[in-house]
Amino acid sequence: MKVRRLWMAAVFGLAAAWLAAPLPAAAKGNDDEVFQQEAVRQINGFRASEKRGPVTLDPALNALASEWAAKLAHEGEMEHRSMGNMRTLLSSHGWSALNENLFMSSAPSASPSEVIAAWKESTGHRRNLLQGNITRIGIGTAAGKAGFFVVFNGAGG
């Protein structure tokens, strides 16, 4: 009987320790936040090298970018928001400027460095990263069957 109690105490003790142990970052669902923080750090470094002011992460823009990234991942296609959609977002949030960059990799993920480097090499994407009246940004990521999608939304005003 003593052996059985000790064995049960050991099993319950291990289970309690396992349940109390902190979850790894990915299990907590903050991978997107880690990606966002690193992306904004790199974007601000790039903007500083080009004599532009810094940008800050904006929760509303993060939500917009994340929703669009999820839509793209679900559909498996790259597609910018329509101009009508962009105008609606501008007026509903009171922004004077809004831009968007998209990234897709056929791999299941990509690093912020890979994404920012690709955008810096493209004239239009580069312009969006450096746009002077953009002061807030949002970054969203999502993985789907077609690959890994990243959306950047910048806003000002």
Tens digits of residue pLDDT in 98-157: 999 999 999 889 999 999 999 999 999 999 999 999 999 999 999 999 999 999 999 998
Q: Are 90 and 61 in contact (CB under 8 A)?
A: no
pTM: 0.78
* 89: pLDDT strictly greater than 90: no
CA 17 to chain centre: 32
Q: Are 62 and 74 in contact (CB under 8 A)?
A: no
CB-based burial of residue 140 (10 Å sphere; 0-12 exposed, 13-18 middle, 19+ buried)?
Answer: buried
How far apart are alpha carbons 72 and 118 in whole angstroms? Answer: 18
Q: Note the helical H segments in the chain.
A: 2-20, 25-28, 31-49, 59-75, 83-93, 112-121, 123-130
> Which tokens sit at 21?
């142990």
How far apart are alpha carbons 144 and 142 in whole angstroms? Answer: 7
C-beta atoms surrounding 89 within 10 Å: 18
